[in-house]
Amino acid sequence: KAGVTQTPRYLIKTRGQQVTLSCSPISGHRSVSWYQQTPGQGLQFLFEYFSETQRNKGNFPGRFSGRQFSNSRSEMNVSTLELGDSALYLCASSFEQNTEAFFGQGTRLTVV
């Protein structure tokens, strides 16, 4: 089975721009969660989508948004980028409630 695939792997953007990251979950997994990892804050939950619906949202500003498609692929968008948005963005997929979450390789975003 193919793992979780995230694209692109690396991105460099300028302050004020917006960015879209993509995640394809493991086949059969309908839950996709997004996390931000920074050296200072560690791994923090952004949001979770299940069957095309946002189920949970972490404590991030509205500039961070996402969506999920009928094939369970998900995208997250960050608008009006700030320097502090530089981080590793990780997508995790799960089969159903209370089961393991498997992470993709991540997208390393650098905002300059």
Partner 1 sequence: QKEVEQNSGPLSVPEGAIASLNCTYSDRGSQSFFWYRQYSGKSPELIMSIYSNGDKEDGRFTAQLNKASQYVSLLIRDSQPSDSATYLCAVNSPLAARQLTFGSGTQLTVLP
Based on the shown chain and the rule CB under 8 A, indicate whether residue 97 belongs to the binding site for partner 1: yes
Angle in degrees, CA 81, 57, 44, rounded to 5: 65
**What mask, x for binding partner 1 by CB under 8 A, covers residues 31 to 60?**
x-x-x------xxxx--x-x----xx-x--
Please identify, using beta-carbon distances, which residue of 14 and 42 lies nearer to partner 1: 42
Based on the shown chain and the rule CB under 8 A, indicate whether residue 103 belongs to the binding site for partner 1: yes
Q: Find out whether 87 and 36 touch, Cβ atoms under 8 Å.
A: yes
Amino acid present at 72: S
Distance between CA atoms of 70 and 52, rounded to whole angstroms? 6
| Residues in contact with partner 1 by the rule CB under 8 A | 31, 33, 35, 42-45, 48, 50, 55-56, 58, 88, 90, 92, 94, 97-106
